[in-house]
Structure 1
């Protein structure tokens, strides 16, 4: 039997279809970015409280990177922290669009979450967004006391393009040295620009929130030089060396054109000796972790990610 959306996921798809919103690629990039905040406001209404939220500017070069700290109730000083890289195809979304995800992750794990506002394409194409993420991790590690965090118990997490950046950040830190993170969580990530996969053919037509056409638009903005899309820091599925990485959690959504990106990279990571925990979330689409307001599975997914990171940072 072909995969089907859950009842709650079907209701979300119906609601989105009835809104009749044009796809992202119909807009100029900056306008799409602004609209992504508006469109996601509904999903961030009624976000849970945390003990403290504070914005910082990191002392990074060449650009000072903004970050947002979430401290849950009961988080002790000098404890573990999760550095979060939001999704959005390297083009759209922001600290605000992923506010609910970060609050829920902080509360579910009991750990500080530090969300990173990296530079966006096409104004800042590859490797600028990745450079910001690597610089942010290094700055957070160096000044962990500012965030009440233990520099030896840091993890990185991200969804979609943020998962791509999280894995690429781990590869850069491995290759450049100086900072070792304890774990990573990669949520329905994009790891290459191959849009001929079975999951793209099945789920990329535009009825399941993320389309192949939109992914083409994202890649054209992020890595306009197609020859550079073989660079493992841009497309980690092409990496020849996936060894010496920390324990990783990877998820894929069943009804997602990007599903096969994760299906393909998991065995490559395992072959490199990486401790991998893999979860296929059935009956849900890309971006599902954003939909806690209507999708109980979203909170269960966040709890699963939180449990993994909390255990690895203990």
Structure 2
């Protein structure tokens, strides 16, 4: 982890990527200025652009009979047979945006690079489906992967879980639920710029929360309000805001964060609390990039580096 002061400005590559996106007439949706369905539609067009190209994978689609039903997509490395390790990645989007296609290229790339089966899901979004629906769906997918591992050609004993932003929250909360239920846990977790706490008075919020790098404190507060159904008492519930949970008994964790992100202190505080709890973990802060950079592997070298960190963790813990 780099503790030296860094300039609060995006890399030249980030600026060029933003220009390329703008030239295509694309933008992330803005939940503060658009109806939620319009914000989702704009974001999905932007994500379609990010998903262009990349390696092929052997893809199968499934629908779990939860309430509401949970679409699941399995990415198997092209031409690789046998029983493989499995990595479940939970997408971000403030619990309010995202679908089965979010990070599609990224998941194909991870499958090809790691030799593992990669799994994505489409959890139900808030405000239509507030907490705990999305987390319940993640738990259902984990249970299904273990129960049907033989049919799916995966090794349930070699499982990892990760997520980005709100997905990082759901991944960490799922690990905590498994621990508390004394159930078998994945061998590691990857928490990428996780949306882990509704405390918006941290230094990174105060310095970076004005929205000039994309994500703002105002948006995050909106996301939390929708996710929790307006119930302010849930903002410190460990199941909903896992940074407030007791962290002992977790598997090793990889923490990745963006330096130009109001959520940076969520990662730094998780790093500190994991150290206090004696949990093995590694933390990397990527300078010069904003929240959401992980999926821009077609545009940003640092996105490719962060992806390589996750692939390395898959190899290290699931070999």
> Which residue is 2:44 aligned to?
37
**What is the TM-score normalised by the length of structure 2?**
0.92
Moved more, 283-292 or 18-27: 18-27
Pick from 298, 306, 310: which aligns with 2:311?
306
List per-residue Cα deviations over 1:59-81 (Å, max 9, x = no partner): 4x333321101111353422210
Pick from 246, 251, 258: which aligns with 2:256?
251
Summarize the alignment of residues 268-287 of structure 1 with structure 2, pairs less than 5 Å apart. 268-287=273-292
Pick from 141, 147, 151: which aligns with 1:142?
147
Determine helix, strand or coil for the equivalent of 1:146. helix
> Which residue is 1:227 aligned to?
233
For these two proteins, the number of residue pairs brought into alignment is 311
Moved more, 74-83 or 295-304: 74-83
Unaligned ranges ≥5, structure 2:
1-5
List per-residue Cα deviations over 1:133-164 (Å, max 9, x = no partner): 11111111111123210011111011000000
Summarize the alignment of residues 34-113 of structure 1 with structure 2, pairs less than 5 Å apart. 34-50=41-57, 52-59=58-65, 61-73=66-78, 75-113=80-118
Determine helix, strand or coil for the equivalent of 1:168. helix
Determine helix, strand or coil for the equivalent of 1:174. helix
- C-alpha separation between the residues in 2 aligned to 1:95 and 1:20? 20
- C-alpha separation between the residues in 2 aligned to 1:20 and 1:48? 23
Instruction: Flag the 1:15–1:213 CA change in 2: closer, same or farther, 3 A.
Output: farther
- C-alpha separation between the residues in 1 aligned to 2:11 and 2:190? 24
Structure 1 residue 295 and structure 2 residue 300: aligned?
yes
- C-alpha separation between the residues in 2 aligned to 1:213 and 1:14? 25
Q: What's the offset of the Cα at 1:255?
A: 0.6
- C-alpha separation between the residues in 1 aligned to 2:175 and 2:193? 17
Q: What's the offset of the Cα at 1:266?
A: 0.9
- C-alpha separation between the residues in 2 aligned to 1:185 and 1:69? 18
> Which residue is 2:157 aligned to?
152
8 Å CA contact retained: 1:247, 1:275: yes
Summarize the alignment of residues 158-169 of structure 1 with structure 2, pairs less than 5 Å apart. 158-169=163-174
Unaligned ranges ≥5, structure 1:
none
- C-alpha separation between the residues in 1 aligned to 2:154 and 2:9? 42
**What is the TM-score normalised by the length of structure 1?**
0.94
RMSD: 1.8
> Which residue is 1:207 aligned to?
212
Moved more, 154-163 or 61-70: 61-70
Determine helix, strand or coil for the equivalent of 1:139. helix
Determine helix, strand or coil for the equivalent of 2:167. helix
- C-alpha separation between the residues in 1 aligned to 2:80 and 2:184? 23
